[in-house]
Amino acid sequence: MAKSKVIPHHDVPLDQIIKPENIIFKKTKLFTDNVLSYCPGCGHGVAHRLILEVIEEMGIADKVIGIAPVGCSVLAYEFMDLDMQEAAHGRAPALATGIKRTNPDKFVFSYQGDGDLAAIGTAETIHAANRGENITVIFINNGIYGMTGGQMAPTTLEGMKTSTTPYGRDPRQMGHPIKITELVAQLPGTCYVTRQAVHTAALVRKAKKAIRRAFEYQKANKGLSFVEIVSNCNSGWKMTPVQAIKWLEENMLPYYPLGDLKDVGLD
Amino acid sequence: MGEILLMKGNEALAEAIIRAGVDGYFGYPITPQSEVMEYLAAAKPEERTGMVLLQAESELAAINMLYGAGATGKKAITSSSSPGISLMQEGISYIAGAEIPVVVVNVVRGGPGLGTIQPAQSDYFQATKGGGHGDYHLLVLAPNSVQEMSDFVPLAFDLAFKYRNPVMILSDGLIGQMMEKVELFEPIPRWTDEYIREHHGNWATIGKTPDRERNIITSLDLVPERMEKHNMHLKEKYEQMEREEVRFEEIQTEDAEYLFVAYGSSSRIAMKAIKLARAEGIKVGLLRPITLYPFPKKRLRELADQVKGMLSVELSLGQMVEDVKLSVECRIPVEHYGRVGGMIPTPEEVVEALKTKIINR
Amino acid sequence: MAKIAGAVVVDIDRCKGCELCVNECPFDVLAMSEDVNIKGYHYSYMKNPSACTGCLACALVCPDTVITVYRVKVPDTAKS
């Protein structure tokens, strides 16, 4: 965010501000007390929070079943105070299908990374979307396999260095970074498909609205709602968090542009 | 008395799935069991009981749909045949680790690979020794009639929920495709969430209510002390199964000097072979394991003190014979006879094998 | 004189020192501490508390939700 030239100033003593009645933002109760296992600056934490805030605000926590993937967020169920299932790598949309079909009155979301959703789980992703399963998929795209130590992901950018593409991803050998969200948006079974990011306050606000909308679509039985979040992996990218979000802006977003790809309308 | 019909094994299985109060069938077509999903589709289970029927994009997806549905405490089942069951092994391992009660039906065909679409019993190892990765067992039921294809569906669910463990019905192409009369059981109503909680515990992931901690269904634990504890807990379940769930049938064992050991379709061939052998004065009986895991080890060990030798008759190159040998602890000769590749042994062949491999060895 | 006065409280021992909040703060309220927390991370703190408007920017980007934000209207009696 551009720095304001005028720095505001107030003389109110801190002990008059820091009182319970003046709280305007605090951690949602749907977080457990466990410390997030993610690296400093990782976007997973914000994505987790937005999902939990939306669930809290909709008052549906007692009807939600979440699905954790394999990847850095494999332990997502340690942090979300919800009933959750842990899926095999890539299979979350199949679990979600089984849950939702036999429990149509519940809310079901899967939380998946790029390797999970767009490589090993491509079939499950595409077919759950194509059947119009009435679920919400949250897709974290940081262009790399974080959990296993920074290997190439299906979404790794051309030329991007990873531990398995140490000289950069060569599309002639490794193919091009897959825009799975664009693929998913093609399918008639999806009702809402959007790409968001969470590395600035303004984008966080937008992303939260998108996640809320995705759950509202599920509530309205409209089909599969899909929210991609372009995120950073400072450790995998070998940068500081601040460098990483700058790199994300300059490299990821031109290839993965933000915004709604599909929104059929909630009415 | 229930309704009596003439049905194929696969059809009886399908009808039993609806009557057993199953909440969801998830499958993928494969010969020789495609009639299961076809029957279900024609029977409109969504109208009869509200059961979900879904043709998945793969066996891999189907087994993971079972994971999801089963982890909410719902009765979930799939059926497939050998190559499809191989594809499901990942999911079955996770389901065993996460302790989800589901039922998997394998109407076995010959392998390896695509093999053949003809009957075989060559998936015994896969079914009874784990199949996927990690230390686990399925509880394995082996029907040998169309009647048992029906009866074992509710039994399988009872056992799956008793142990929170996947149960496999290990059939084969012969039992699946043949027609026999079958007495259908009275329909069992589908369970409500309240019923499941009351009778099977409060573990299902159906939304965290304020009166309890969150429920987590996972096979993962990165803390070695906890993971070992979990593995030992699984072991205790398997030991309980070995104490409480061994099922078998004995035919003419009272005066037997020799014993056939055979399950599923092979047991029916062995029954005919007993008649032929006894007509020649050979006193032979049959032990038919109904549970392949847990295996009737104890009874076989007892019979080893009575008979002079055992012949394991299987549509395989010799798989169950290893468990028979382990059971009798080398006290008497144990041999195997089988045909493979979709070939079915005649009763005469089986009698001849008994003579050459056991009696005149 | 601002009409809004804000303040943040950082849960020091849960801060991982990523600095995203410092980077995001529009008014340079936040900075990283020189000492470290229980995990060995330099943590975020209010270096210029009088500039805080409680705009939420820091809290929204914080991946570990360690920032609680407070805000009051500046009383009319306060003089500039």
Domain boundaries, given as residue ranges, for chain A: 34-263
Q: Report yes or no on C21 lying in a domain.
A: yes
Radius of gyration of chain C (CA): 13
Cis peptide before A8 (omega within 30 of 0): no
Query: Is the pLDDT reported for residue C80 higher than 60?
Result: no
Q: What is the dotted CATH code of the domain comprising B4-183?
A: 3.40.50.970
Amino acid at B251: I
CB of B333 less than 8 A from some CB of A: no
Q: Which residues contact B356 (CB under 8 A, 6 or more apart)?
A: none
Instruction: Tell me which residue of A158, A157, A154 sits closest to A139, measured CA to CA.
Output: A154
Contact B106/B80 with Cβ under 8 angstroms? Answer: yes
CATH code 3.40.50.970 region(s) in chain B: 4-183
Query: Is the pLDDT reported for residue C79 higher than 50?
Result: no
CB of B212 less than 8 A from some CB of A: no
What end-to-end distance do the CA atoms of chain C give, in Å? 5
What CA–CA distance (Å, rounded) separates A177 from A61?
Answer: 36
* CATH T-level topology, domain A34-263: Rossmann fold (3.40.50)
The band of C43, judged by pLDDT with boundaries at 50, 70 and 90, is: very high
Helices (H), chain B: 9-19, 35-43, 45-48, 59-70, 82-98, 124-128, 146-163, 173-177, 193-200, 224-244, 264-279, 297-303, 320-328, 347-354
CATH number reported for the structural domain that contains residue C64 in this entry: 3.30.70.20
Query: Does the distance separating the beta carbons of C60 and A10 come in below 8 Å?
Result: no
* Chain A residues whose beta carbon lies within 8 Å of the beta carbon of residue B68: 67, 85, 94-99
* Chain A residues whose beta carbon lies within 8 Å of the beta carbon of residue C55: 201
Q: Report yes or no on C80 lying in a domain.
A: no
**Helix, strand or coil, per DSSP, at residue C24:** helix
Which residue in the set A65, A84, A98 is minimally distant from B76, CB to CB? A98
Q: Report yes or no on C58 lying in a domain.
A: yes
| Total number of domains constituting chain C | 1
* Structure ipTM over 0.90, yes or no: yes
Alpha carbon distances (Å) from A124 to A167, A214, A229, B129: 31, 19, 19, 29
**pLDDT at residue C75, as a whole number:** 72
Chains that touch A (3 or more CB pairs under 8 A): B, C
Return the residue matching tokens 């549906």.
A60
What tens-digit pLDDT sequence spans chain B (361 residues)?
789 999 999 999 999 999 999 999 999 999 999 999 999 999 999 999 999 999 999 999 999 999 999 999 999 999 999 999 999 999 999 999 999 999 999 999 999 999 999 999 999 999 999 899 999 999 999 999 999 999 999 999 999 999 999 999 999 999 999 999 999 999 999 999 999 999 999 999 999 999 999 999 999 999 999 999 999 999 999 999 999 999 999 999 999 999 999 999 999 999 999 999 999 999 999 999 999 999 999 999 999 999 999 999 999 999 999 999 999 999 999 999 999 999 999 999 999 999 999 999 8
Category of B207 on φ-ψ map: left (φ > 0), alpha (ψ -120 to 50) or beta: left
Query: Does the distance separating the beta carbons of B57 and A85 come in below 8 Å?
Result: no
Token couple for B284: 């032979």
- Domain holding C43, by residue range, is 4-73
Percent of chain A with pLDDT strictly greater than 70: 98
Shortest distance between the Cα of B173 and any Cα of chain A, in A, equals 28
Contact B55/B27 with Cβ under 8 angstroms? Answer: yes
Mean pLDDT (chain A, rounded): 97
Token couple for A188: 């008639």
What CA–CA distance (Å, rounded) separates B2 from B19?
Answer: 12
Write the class of the CATH domain B248-359: alpha beta
Cis peptide before A104 (omega within 30 of 0): no
Residue range A71-89: average pLDDT? 97
Residues, chain B: 361
- DSSP letter for each residue of B284-329: EEEEEESEEES--HHHHHHHTTT-SEEEEE-SSSSSHHHHHHHHHT
Which of A29, A85, A124, A135 is the best mutation test for B, with the most CBs of B within 10 A?
Answer: A85
Category of A168 on φ-ψ map: left (φ > 0), alpha (ψ -120 to 50) or beta: left
- Enumerate the β-bridge partners of residue B261: B287, B312
